[in-house]
Chains A and B, each alone.
Chain A
Amino acid sequence: NAGVTQTPKFQVLKTGQSMTLQCAQDMNHNSMYWYRQDPGMGLRLIYYSASEGTTDKGEVPNGYNVSRLNKREFSLRLESAAPSQTSVYFCASRAGTGEVRAFFGQGTRLTVV
């Protein structure tokens, strides 16, 4: 029972490099979310997708793009990484119909040097 799977688990980037964080869920959920976690800041919403085919900005979208590839997959792209994007990134999903719980992946720990 995989739930929400994120890849990679760890990544080190040089400033200016690009990368895509992958997220997939196998629970047939409609909504998917990307959060970042920084010490003392809690979780802040970067982007979300309320349903397949839609995406919306969250609290801290600058420097990121997202793609809702299909119902299962929601990727987060850093086009030109900056040290300020060093963080732990979490993907989450939620059914959106009847089921109110949100489930999280194990996180991607990204360091930009």
Chain B
Amino acid sequence: GEDVEQSLFLSVREGDSSVINCTYTDSSSTYLYWYKQEPGAGLQLLTYIFSNMDMKQDQRLTVLLNKKDKHLSLRIADTQTGDSAIYFCAETPLERNTPLVFGKGTRLSVIA
């Protein structure tokens, strides 16, 4: 079955860039997602990318996909204290109703 791996912790200084990494195992065409979870809250969808794309940019967020290595990254430019949260990578095959499979999440701590 599908598996999604993430490192558990990342600490950066305010104003620096953050890069959160994820690897996945599904070999079929797939959608890949980044969700953000602030303390005590639900999951907020940040962005998503289809596996035929290499990159997607949305304001401070840049998603890079290396399909050959099954590696996904989320870069947050000019990281702010409000970016402190848990970031989840998730993937789902192209079939429309298949559930999302999540990584364990990366806790990002931003130091002022």
Q: Does residue A74 face the partner (Cβ distance < 8 Å to B)?
A: no
- Inter-chain CA distance A48–B98, complex, in Å, is 9
Which of chain A's residues 14-40 have a Cβ closer than 8 Å to chain B?
30-31, 33, 35, 40
Task: Give chain B's interface secondary structure class.
Answer: strand
B96 & A97 in contact (Cβ 8 Å cutoff): yes
Whether the Cβ atoms of A96 and B96 lie closer than 8 Å is yes
Instruction: Give the A-binding residues of B (Cβ under 8 A).
Output: 8, 31, 33, 35, 41-45, 48, 50, 88, 90, 92, 96-105
* Across-interface contacts of B100 in A (CB, < 8 A): 33, 92, 94, 102
How many residues belonging to A are interface residues under a CB distance threshold of 8 Å? 27
- Whether B105 lies near A107 (C-beta < 8 A) is no
Which residues from A are CB-within-8-Å of B8? 40
Set of chain B residues within 8 Å of A50, measured between Cβ atoms:
97-98
A48 to B95, CA, bound (A): 14
A107 to B97, CA, bound (A): 21
Q: How far is the CB of B24 from chain A (nearest CB, A)?
A: 13
Q: Are A42 and B88 in contact (CB under 8 A)?
A: yes
Given A40-B104, A42-B105; A90-B43 close (CB under 8 Å): yes
- Specify the chain B residue showing the minimal Cβ separation from A40: B104
Q: Which residue of A lies closest to B41 (CB)?
A: A106
A92 CA / B88 CA spacing, docked (Å): 15
Provide the bound-state CA to CA distance between A92 and B48, in Å. Answer: 16
A97 to B94, CA, bound (A): 11
Contact A33-B42, Cβ < 8 Å, known A42-B104, A100-B31: no
- CB neighbours (8 Å) of A51 from chain B are 97
